[in-house]
Amino acid sequence: MDFEIKTLSLAQAATLPADALLVLVPQGFTPGVDGLSELLAQALKAHDFEARASSLLHLYRAPGVAAKHLVFVGVAEATPAQVRAAVAAALRSLKAARPKQLLLSLAALPQSQTEGIVAALQGLAEASYVYTTTKPKAEARSLQLVRLGVSDAPACQAAFERGVALVAGIELAKEWGNRPGNHATPTLLAKAAKALADAHGLHCEVMDKGDVTKLGMGAFLAVAQGSQEPLRFITLRYQGAPKTQAPVVLVGKGITFDSGGISIKPAPEMDEMKFDMCGAASVLGVFRSVAALKPRINLIGLIPSCENLPDGHAIKPGDVVTTMSGQTVEILNTDAEGRLILCDALTYAKRFKPSAVVDIATLTGACVIALGAVRSGLFANDDALAQELYQAGEQALDRCWRMPLDDDYAEGLKTHFADVANVAGRPGGSVTAAKFLQRFVDDLKWAHLDIAGTAWKSGADKGATGRPVALLLNYLLAQQAPAPAPRARKSAKK
């Protein structure tokens, strides 16, 4: 799917050939005098169309309109959320027409609404996405070219580029999230990271069992030992700022299938545990977006990846392992494996002397109970970092909610047989998981996003959401130092 942006009035939009023309109409909009505006004015006057959020009016081969399908799309106050939902609804309503070329006119929106552009692109991507990788006969997405018509294209260029990069990142995250466990093994995930790095000038390094054994990642190794599938530890690097600038490190949970191990999960919905690498997929997605936008930051991505399966070599409840940090862990429940692979990755993160570490993990069912599918759980040992991530999520419509980290929550992790147990009781399960992770970050500025409820949808719309790529990208873009001042003009020296 390709995107273009152009300065186009409504009148000009009407003359451009396309399979479909969507016209966004905010509340209170006064149509002009061109033919298209005339149609809109009539519809509004007759109350056949109102600019309410997501209300639609379809016209077919409308006079004076080059596009075959014309849709007026109400966006109410034209907030980014309204624009995203309305655009998605409009495109879904054209499903049967299978449009290839789409023209989306935002000319009627207030000029200041550049976030509307990002939102519109997200809405289009969301509504047209189809997963096809393991469905060879599936009809691929019909949309090939999307043109955005705006009142001032140069003023919208930066938002447009951000939107396009974001969509690419989200779609990469969805793709890897959706792939079944046997099509997204740790080895394949590492290959995808390598391919991403090769295609976009990033660095990628992949460690195997021997390498992580040398590093002493005893907890990560313990989870991987119950599976035939070899583990991988992926490191991605992007350098967009001087080497002296401390990087942000993202750590993504990459369990490509979580059966629970010996503490095996019940059969219903167990297939959804193929999504247990959505944290890892979001890291890949963020790198895809960052590679396109080239922000002035340094970024490291760490992905510990393995399966959690119960074979004869698998860890057993009660086993004690030694983590890379030197702390020992009693594994009371082999299904609490995410924290075991993450704790070693967090210890490893320290060597990059990061300005902040953010881990992203489908970590606990308890977080789904606490926050549902609306907001991701946000945990942080630093108020400023928490605030930055929270705000990034609000702006991106990829929301999170801060959860507590009182030390009292760590009481249940005490055990007679190791420095710490990997589970406490059921109460506050997402918090006790975060408290476990916190033991491994010491004085790093650290945040943990529990995306168990937000990374994928169940039921009729089953599939990865690509969250929280949008949140993370906004956070990272906000980390850029101010643009360097333009160099002094040489003529001054003359």
450 is a contact residue toward Mn ion (CB under 5 A): no
Contact 72, 52 (CB under 8 A): no
Whether residue 37 contacts residue 11, with contact meaning beta carbons closer than 8 Å, is answered with yes
CB of 292 to ligand BES, least distance (A): 30
Selected binder of Zn ion within 19, 171, 258, 450 (CB under 5 A): 258
Structure tokens at 157: 């260029």
Position 338 contacts ligand BES (CB under 6 A): yes
Looking at residue 142, its amino acid is S
- Interface residue with ligand BES among 113, 256, 305, 364 (CB under 6 A) is 364
DSSP calls for 127-188: HH----TT-TTSPPP---EEEEEES-HHHHHHHHHHHHHHHHHHHHHHHHHHS-GGGS-HHH
Q: Is 258 in the site for ligand BES (CB under 6 A)?
A: yes
When the beta carbons of 105 and 305 are compared against ligand BES, the nearer one is 305
- Restricted to residues 329-368, the positions that interact with Zn ion (CB under 5 A) are 338
The answer, yes or no, to whether the previous bond of 310 is cis (omega within 30 of 0) is no
Look up 414 and say whether it is catalytic. no
The site map against ligand BES for 415-454 (x = CB under 6 A) is --------x-----x----------------------x--
Q: Judge whether 265 counts as a catalytic residue.
A: yes
CA dihedral over 193, 199, 200, 204, signed as positive or negative: positive
Q: Residue 421: how many CB atoms within 10 A of its CB?
A: 21
Q: How far is CA 412 from CA 427, 433, 444, 450, 453, in A?
A: 10, 11, 24, 20, 24
Q: Which of 174, 288, 339, 439 is catalytic?
A: 339
- Sequence-distant (6+) residues with CB within 8 A of 169 are 285, 286, 287, 288, 289, 290, 292, 466, 469, 473
Rounded alpha-carbon distances, angstroms, from residue 462 to 17, 179, 344 = 35, 12, 31
How far apart are CB 168 and Zn ion at their closest, in Å?
27
In 10 A of CB 401, how many CB atoms?
14
Task: Among 19, 126, 276, 307, indicate the residue that binds Zn ion (CB under 5 A).
Answer: 276
* Other CB atoms within 10 A of residue 416 CB: 6
For residue 243, the tally of other CB atoms under 10 A from its CB is 7
Q: How far is the CB of 398 from ligand BES (least distance, A)?
A: 18
Provide the mask over 346-365, with x wherever binding to Mn ion is found by CB under 5 A and - wherever it is not: --------------------
Q: Which does 376 bind (CB under 5 to 8 A by kind): Zn ion, Mn ion, ligand BES, none?
A: none
- Identified binder of Mn ion from the candidate list 229, 335, 344, 359, rule CB under 5 A: 335
x/- track of binding to ligand BES for residues 318-337 (CB under 6 A): ---------------x-xxx
- The angle at the Cα of 304, spanning 301 to 306, to the nearest 5 degrees, equals 145
Indicate the residue whose CB is closest to Zn ion: 258
Taking the complex as a whole, the smallest distance from the CB of residue 344 to ligand BES amounts, in Å, to 15
The residue from 68, 194, 265, 462 that is catalytic is 265
Among ligand BES, Zn ion, Mn ion, none, partner that 192 touches (CB below 5 to 8 angstroms by kind):
none
The Cα 38–Cα 150 span in angstroms is: 19
181/338 with CB nearer Zn ion: 338
Residue whose token pair is 């924290």: 339
Contact 156, 150 (CB under 8 A): yes
CB of 336 to ligand BES, least distance (A): 4
- Looking at 24-32, 327-335, 452-460, 463-471, which segment touches Mn ion (CB under 5 A)? 327-335
39-47, 85-93, 214-222, 364-372 -> range binding ligand BES (CB under 6 A): 364-372
- Distance in Å, CB of 226 to Mn ion, minimum: 12
Least distance to Zn ion, CB of residue 307, Å: 10
Give the residue with the Cβ less far from ligand BES, 21 or 173: 173
Integer Cα distance of 490 and 462 in angstroms:
59
Which residues are at the interface with ligand BES (CB under 6 A)?
258, 276, 333, 335-338, 362-366, 368, 423, 429, 452
Question: Which residues are the active-site residues?
Answer: 265, 339
